[in-house]
Amino acid sequence: MEIKALACELPKVRDLPFSRLSHADIAQEAMHSGITASISGATVWRWLSADAIKPWCYRSWIFPRDPDFAEKAAKVLDLYHGVWEGQLLGPDDHVISADEKTSIQARERTAQSSAPEPRRYRKVEAEYIRHGALAYIAGWDVHRFGLYCRLGCSSC
């Protein structure tokens, strides 16, 4: 139980660097902290797996730091609901959510990738040929479900 509790702690509680804790890391920390004299990473993995505990998996997220975040977000959310400054949008009003991806590298692998097989990883060629850069600009009409996009190419 102590090893399962250790696996569920945040690394900083034990002054460990922020990282994904592997089953081997947890076994090492259990021995270092005196929970047990000896244990293998495989045993830790088996115990944690039985309870679906996976401390080496995590999701990153960003906590909003802007004190006016809620007020600013409310304007966008109102638009998504078809409201602007307390008034319903009319039939000729559009809400476009736009984004751009600039300088996308257009690359081609120098050799074809191979499919994975039993006991063999997929192989992907590391070398590539450059074909310049692309810029992708898109807009989504939120209420009419239309996509407007433009793909532009520039040579290096």
Model-level pTM? 0.44
Measure the N-to-C terminal CA separation of the chain; round to a whole number of Å.
Answer: 59
Domain count, the chain: 2
Tracing tokens 């039993």 back to the chain, one arrives at 118
Would 72 be classed as within a structural domain?
A: no
pLDDT for 151 equals 61
Range of the domain at 44: 2-50
pLDDT in tens, 60-88: 888 889 999 999 999 999 999 999 999 99
| Res. 152 pLDDT band, cuts 50 70 90 | low
Domain membership flag for residue 149: yes
Same domain, 98 and 150: yes
| 124: in domain | yes
Domain-embedded: residue 82:
no
Residue 103 lies inside a defined structural domain of this protein: yes
Q: Are residues 98 and 46 in the same domain?
A: no
- Could you tell me if residue 111 is inside a domain? yes
Report how far residue 23's alpha carbon sits from residue 37's, in angstroms, rounded to the nearest whole number: 16
